[in-house]
Copies of this chain bind each other. A is one copy, B any other.
Amino acid sequence: MYERGDLFNPACGTRVVLDRIGDKWTALAVLLLQHGPLRFTELRDGIGRVAPKVLTQTLRRLERDGLVTREVFAEVPPRVVYALTPMGRSLITPLTTVSNWAEEHINAINTAQSQYDATV
């Protein structure tokens, strides 16, 4: 069993991580934070159409995973700053290779979709 590699094992790290960063906003949040810390509303406005509840969930998970720090300033109005940890920054490189692939192939994907839709 698993002769093609441990991808066939549901407990392998790749599958766990893909399941974690493979949700709707996690990878995007990490990429947005790559140039420096951002506040909650900066992330929310940057992502554009994310419900605050969902953004909070996403950031809490990233914090729990040790990829992001959450710093609360006891001010009024409140200020909360999110930043990447060293481990979070180390994720930028892999995500950037995916991002580059995306930019290189997005046109081909759109073309393929149009062709597929035309035949069906």
Contacts and interface: CB of A to CB of B under 8 A. Distances in A.
A75 interface: no
A81 interface: no
A90 B100 CA distance: 12
Interface of A: 4-5, 7-8, 10, 12-24, 27-28, 31-32, 35, 46-49, 63-67, 87, 90-91, 93-95, 97-103, 105-106, 108-109, 111-113, 115-117
19 contacts: A4-B32, A7-B28, A7-B32, A14-B102, A15-B28, A16-B106, A16-B109, A17-B99, A17-B102, A18-B28, A22-B23, A63-B116, A66-B109, A66-B115, A67-B109, A91-B101, A93-B97, A94-B98, A95-B98
